[in-house]
Structure 1
């Protein structure tokens, strides 16, 4: 029960983190930022 609760909280926080990153990067895709940083 306790492990399941920890797993659910971890997945929930991970989902929120991914959603926040996705909203932040929506204007400029991540691969463009990598190209700008490292060139081709």
Structure 2
């Protein structure tokens, strides 16, 4: 999990460039939806 967070941070900082970051953004959207559904 920590590795995932550091990857996300790296992508936001534009450390990692490429389709890997796009995949992470898709995952973030998924997790965001998941969190909102849990909060409701």
The normalised TM-score by structure 2 is 0.53
Name structure 2 gaps, 5 residues minimum.
1-17
User: Alignment length, in residue pairs?
Assistant: 23
| Relative contact order higher in (CA < 8 Å, ≥ 6 apart) | 2
In the TM superposition, residue 21 of structure 1 has moved relative to its aligned partner by: 0.6
Tell me whether 1:11 sits opposite 2:28 in the alignment: yes
Structure of greater Rg = 1
Residue-by-residue CA offset, 1:1-24 (whole Å, 9 max, x unaligned)? 21011000001100000000100x
Return the alpha-carbon distance in structure 1 between the equivalents of residues 28 and 39 of structure 2: 16
